[in-house]
Amino acid sequence: MAKRKTKYVCQDCGYESAKWMGKCPGCNHWNTLVEEIEALSGGAGHTMSRDGKAAGQPESITSIETKKEPRITTGMKEFNRVLGGGIVPGSLALIGGDPGIGKSTLLLQISSQLAEKQLPVLYISGEESTRQTKLRADRLDVSSELLYVMAETNLLDIINQIEQIRPAFVVIDSIQTIYREEVTSAPGSVSQVRESTSELMRVAKSNGIPIFIVGHVTKEGAIAGPRMLEHMVDAVLYFEGERHHTYRILRSVKNRFGSTHEMGIFEMKEEGLREVMNPSEIFLEERSQGAAGSTVVASMEGTRPVLVEIQALISPTSFGNPRRMATGIDTNRVPLLMAVLEKRVGLMLQNQDAYIKVAGGVKLDEPAIDLAVAVSIASSFRNQPTKPEDIVIGEVGLTGEIRRVARIEQRVQEAAKLGFKRVICPMKNLEGWVPPESIQVVGVNTVREALDEGLTS
């Protein structure tokens, strides 16, 4: 009988070592290496691809036949948008989020909608019993004979049921509870998560069944387990939001079949999640009129423009070093833009505390919001309100110039649809297109010009 060897595996990054170390060389975290027993290696079998050919045989790229497979569309347009138009057959997607944010609720509603389309769905719950899942289903008014629920954590039994039922959609809730008998480590460990995901990927690709797996997140907000877990799957979705607010954001950070940084907005109701078709109205519904330090910007979230309010509060500092705080945007952008305002416009901001916030809890990470942040800072510092029917778009350079942004047509059309009358944007963006008649587009070349146009006298 072969002797089993032991190894030490980091539970954060998956680094393997022959001996124990207090600090992991891979991620520099302390006390994360756990002893595990290596599984005996067996003979590798030949896997088959979906067209019946043996996998691993090289083929000329010109001889490979391609066919466009229709996506599986759900009853939630926001969910379809985040995935790039619907669920791709044979795809493996990972969805993560804080505990209690609504991951299981969302997937149970999606499963119900697919089952109502006469598509068999298998919902695997490793954390709840079938009765507990049924209680949630009753609350969400989910009832379909083609929705099969199973409480199981053994991966072999799960795969057997998948091959027996042949569902059109599978949910694994969650991957941290699934285990393989051949792997000796505990469920949720790096080895178990990695091996279970690898086997589920094989099942999804070979049978053409889309599988969605739920992943726990760490206290930093990243999906727990090795980083390679995100590299193995086809799509990575994050379900974000504050527990004390009703709105939830489903964000795509990786998608092999669609655009990344796509965003879907949902509202948590007593009967479940309800999609928000026009998030711009939600972010602007509580905007105060005539307040200094408030500016509206049109930001692109994937393929959709979203209008959000950027608020700034500038006040004299009480300390030696002024504070620079930001919520919803990169904190490093705030001192950079304040330095441009001080050097190129002449605003004395070196003894002022600055607090920047994106209203509504959304996070913006594109350079097109620079000009709106700068206008909000100048508005609060001068105590001059911005014009309430203006939209400000543009990237700010270190010399004070306003640089062009992408997809200006979609941003302006969204502003016109919501009733705004004027858009302040880079001068270079005025070329090659005709804006709608209901809105005026003003081009600016410098930050000083933008402040002269955007602030009331």
pLDDT of residue 49 exceeding 50: no
State which of 211, 242, 277 marks the end of a domain. Answer: 277
| Of 383, 372, 365, 348, the residue nearest 444 (C-alpha) | 372
Q: Judge whether 359 and 307 are in contact, CB under 8 Å.
A: no
Annotated ligand binding at 102? The verdict is yes
Residue 179's DSSP bridge partners are 154
The CATH number assigned to the domain holding 88 equals 3.40.50.300
How many whole angstroms separate alpha carbon 413 and alpha carbon 420? 10
Averaged pLDDT, 384-395: 94
pLDDT of residue 58 exceeding 90: no
Quote the mean pLDDT of the chain. 88
How many whole angstroms separate alpha carbon 273 and alpha carbon 165? 28
pLDDT of residue 54: 47
Please tell me whether residues 226 and 311 are part of one structural domain.
no
Instruction: Report the domain count for the chain.
Output: 3
State the Cα torsion 267-270-272-273 to the nearest 10°.
0
- 204 found inside a domain: yes
Confidence of residue 224 (pLDDT cuts 50, 70, 90): low
Annotated ligand binding at 452? The verdict is no
- 361 found inside a domain: yes
Please tell me whether residues 208 and 297 are part of one structural domain.
no
State which of 261, 277, 293 marks the end of a domain. Answer: 277
A 10 A CB-CB count for 319 gives 8
> What tens digit of pLDDT does each residue of 426-448 get?
999 998 899 999 999 999 999 99
* 10-24, 175-189, 289-303, 411-425 — most confident range: 411-425
How many whole angstroms separate alpha carbon 35 and alpha carbon 6? 7
Annotated ligand binding at 293? The verdict is no
Please tell me whether residues 28 and 76 are part of one structural domain.
no
- 64 found inside a domain: no
pLDDT of residue 186 exceeding 50: yes
- Which domain covers residue 313, as residue numbers? 282-454
> What tens digit of pLDDT does each residue of 69-116 get?
789 999 999 999 999 999 999 999 999 888 888 999 999 999 999 999
> What tens digit of pLDDT does each residue of 225-238 get?
656 688 889 999 99
pLDDT of residue 204 exceeding 70: yes
pLDDT of residue 221: 61
pLDDT of residue 50: 47
Please tell me whether residues 105 and 247 are part of one structural domain.
yes
A 10 A CB-CB count for 46 gives 8
Please tell me whether residues 136 and 266 are part of one structural domain.
yes
Please tell me whether residues 326 and 438 are part of one structural domain.
yes
Q: What percentage of the chain reaches a pLDDT higher than 70?
A: 92
Please give the residue that has the higher pLDDT: either 27 or 415.
Answer: 415
pTM of the model: 0.78
CA 316 remoteness from chain centre? 37
- 43 found inside a domain: no
Annotated ligand binding at 221? The verdict is no
- 57 found inside a domain: no
- 51 found inside a domain: no
Please tell me whether residues 294 and 244 are part of one structural domain.
no
Cβ neighbours of residue 315 closer than 8 Å, sequence gap 6 or more: 352, 353
How many whole angstroms separate alpha carbon 300 and alpha carbon 251? 13
pLDDT of residue 13 exceeding 60: yes
pLDDT of residue 404 exceeding 90: yes
Annotated ligand binding at 85? The verdict is no
Category of 440 on φ-ψ map: left (φ > 0), alpha (ψ -120 to 50) or beta? beta
Please tell me whether residues 168 and 306 are part of one structural domain.
no
Q: Judge whether 405 and 395 are in contact, CB under 8 Å.
A: yes
Please tell me whether residues 231 and 338 are part of one structural domain.
no
| Of 353, 360, 358, the residue nearest 330 (C-alpha) | 358
Cβ neighbours of residue 424 closer than 8 Å, sequence gap 6 or more: 371, 390, 391, 392, 393, 394, 442, 444, 450, 453, 454
Annotated ligand binding at 104? The verdict is yes
- 232 found inside a domain: yes
- 50 found inside a domain: no
Q: Edge-to-edge, what's the strand order for the sheet holding 324-327?
A: 294-301, 304-316, 352-358, 324-327
pLDDT of residue 106: 95
Please tell me whether residues 92 and 152 are part of one structural domain.
yes
Please give the residue that has the higher pLDDT: either 283 or 356.
Answer: 356
93: tokens are 């997607």
pLDDT of residue 42: 46
Please tell me whether residues 216 and 331 are part of one structural domain.
no
Please tell me whether residues 305 and 256 are part of one structural domain.
no
* b/e sequence 337-361, b meaning 16+ C-beta within 10 Å: bbebbeebbebebeebbbbbbbbbb
Cβ neighbours of residue 342 closer than 8 Å, sequence gap 6 or more: 348, 349, 350
Cβ neighbours of residue 363 closer than 8 Å, sequence gap 6 or more: 328, 329
> What tens digit of pLDDT does each residue of 129-142 get?
999 999 999 999 99
How many whole angstroms separate alpha carbon 160 and alpha carbon 148? 14
pLDDT of residue 220: 64
State which of 258, 277, 296 marks the end of a domain. Answer: 277
